[in-house]
Amino acid sequence: MAAEHAESLHRLLSKPPLAAPLAESSDAYIHRVGDELLVCPWQTRLRSWLAFSTLQATTSRRLFQSFLPDLVAQETQRDFERWQSRTGRTRPQILTSTWEVPLPWFVLFDAAERHLVLDQAGEEYRPPAPHGGACPQCATSLPAFQQTPVRALLYLTRAADALPRLVRAVRLVSGYSPASSSFLYALERLEEWVSAVAHPRALLELDYGGLVLLMDDATLRSDQSVAEVHTALTAIEQDRPELVAAMRLRLRTRWNAIRALRHAN
């Protein structure tokens, strides 16, 4: 993930900035399970295009222009549209969210699949810097990458285990919430995505990514969002609305505090 972040930083520091790579990435995340080698392509160009479209749709024109000049935005939009018309594909292998983990994503996992890493020294990562610590495109000086502790919170499961959990959640929530529920809609879209991209033997990973840098050790240790989501679903099944409300309040309180940091200065 550090490699992806470094690559994105190089693009943003170029003049003019690059909203998406000029070609699709050939890199991938690799996970070995027994004799099987599981590969998840980065698809950096596609994911950058999708992020560009989201930013453009949810940001004021003035703020959007502070990130990308009009000419760059227009060229990026044309490239994306040409690619879409040629391939017809816009479904990525990796879903990304900023400032939060969407609550429906927790449904895919079990509390026992939680992995928390704190205060362990990680290996230093040094991205390519042909200009002696400078951005290759614009020669802007970059800060030196130093060894930092590994800090992570993630869940890992088999797609074959995740899909039945998701089907159960859709069934329970559809009988409990109105048809217009945003949570139900997100669950149904997630079910479509898992069914489309994940082989039954594939692994699904939920990684908190950079969010762990916004949360202290105590907050990370106490974060049991997966367990709380499943407790709420079981409470729906058992017709215990007071427990459903308690879990919703706990989840909302935790994630509202994280989302509020987007407005901090």
Mean pLDDT score, 88-100: 90
DSSP 8-class letter at 264:
-
Distance in angstroms (rounded) separating the CA atoms of residues 226 and 111 = 6
Interatomic CA distance for residues 90 and 45, integer angstroms: 11
pLDDT at 264 over 80: no
Q: Where are the beta strands (DSSP E) in the chain?
A: 28-33, 36-41, 114-121, 149-158, 203-207
Instruction: Give the whole-angstrom CA distance, residue 157 versus residue 198.
Output: 12
Q: What's the confidence (pLDDT) of residue 2?
A: 67
Q: What is the pLDDT of residues 181-196, one digit of tens each?
A: 899 999 999 999 999 9
Structure confidence at residue 242 (pLDDT): 97
Instruction: Residue 200: count other Cβ atoms within 10 Å of its Cβ.
Output: 10
Confidence band of 129 (pLDDT split at 50, 70, 90):
very low
Phi/psi at 179 (5° precision): -60, -25
Residue 67 has pLDDT above 90, yes or no: no
What's the rounded Cα separation, in Å, for the pair 105 and 226?
A: 9
Mean pLDDT of the chain: 86
pLDDT (0 to 100) of residue 136: 42
Give the pLDDT score at 13.
64
Share of the chain residues as helix, strand and coil, in percent rounded to the nearest 5:
55, 15, 35
Q: Give the tens place of pLDDT for each residue, 34-66.
A: 888 999 999 999 999 999 999 999 889 998 888
What's the pLDDT band for 122 if we cut at 50, 70, 90? very low
The residue type found at 130 is P
For residue 203, the model assigns a pLDDT of: 95
What is the Cβ-side half-sphere exposure of residue 251, based on CA atoms within 13 angstroms?
21
pTM of the model: 0.82
